[in-house]
Amino acid sequence: MKKSLSLIIILVVATLSCKKTIESEQKAWEINIRRANQLSIEYPNFSQLIREQIDAAELIMNESSSITDEKAKISKMAEANVQIMKGFIRNLENIKSIKTDIRKKAIEARGLKALYNEMTMINHAISDSERTIMESDLKVKTAVNTCTEADALTGLILTDLKNAESNLDRAIAVIKDRESAEKAKIEETQKQLIDNTAAKEKAEAPVICKYCGTYNLASALTCKGCGASLK
């Protein structure tokens, strides 16, 4: 009961936060057209297939313009937006962003203070990521004749890049985990030192006789002023 209720809440929130309207679909469409055309310039070997995918999506978009029912219209426009960005076009977009991420992570990895035994691992991950980017830049220039070919090629490139990225992530995590373990250990030692000092100071604090007010050494058993027991 509780579970289904939270599921409903999640669904409601999700629906509210990305509520589709004619305006939002139109806006998405314009952005998607721009993205597809940009990719066509960047990857001329895909331009023919990109053109075909835009045309197919445009057909769906045109169908939507004759629909009067708002809900059906929005749904048709959304379908056009899915069609234009699907498969290899989505992959080409993702290839671009994952390359940017890998480059950032390689810079981060280079900046880490690796121990001698971590160097091989981190250097390997960095050079592997650089090589993968270089190879993917070459592979992505391969001539593609069909959508299926384009989907497969870009899918493979994406997989290679994702693997290189997770290698980098792992290598970075090893060093960061070791660093934070070291930091925790130093903090623990410092805390212990402070605790010990406090305990020692407490132990060394003079004992004031409750009968005559004389200050006695911490180790004293009886008051040097009146001879009363201090324990």
Tokens of 86: 């699907």
For 93-120, the DSSP string reads HHHHHHHHHHHHHHHHHHHS---HHHHH
CB of 28 or CB of 220, closer to Zn ion: 220
Using rule CB under 5 A, residue 115 touches Zn ion: no
Contact criterion met (CB below 8 Å) for 53 and 83: yes
CB of 75 or CB of 214, closer to Zn ion: 214
CB of 10 or CB of 212, closer to Zn ion: 212
DSSP state of 46: G
Using rule CB under 5 A, residue 122 touches Zn ion: no
Kindly state the number of chain residues that form the binding site for Zn ion, as judged by CB under 5 A: 8
Name which position in 211, 217, 221, 222 contacts Zn ion (CB under 5 A): 211
Contact pattern from residue 153 through residue 192 relative to Zn ion, giving x for each residue in contact according to CB under 5 A and a dash for the rest: ----------------------------------------
Backbone dihedral angles phi then psi of residue 114, each to the nearest 5 degrees: -80, 140
Instruction: Match 């390997």 to its residue by tokens.
Output: 124
Using rule CB under 5 A, residue 226 touches Zn ion: yes
Using rule CB under 5 A, residue 215 touches Zn ion: no
Contact criterion met (CB below 8 Å) for 125 and 153: no
Closest distance to Zn ion from the beta carbon of 184 (Å) = 48
Question: Rounded to whole angstroms, how far apart are CA atoms 60 and 83?
Answer: 8
Using rule CB under 5 A, residue 212 touches Zn ion: yes
Question: Rounded to whole angstroms, how far apart are CA atoms 231 and 229?
Answer: 6
Using rule CB under 5 A, residue 85 touches Zn ion: no
* Interaction site with Zn ion (CB under 5 A): 209, 211-212, 214, 223, 225-226, 228
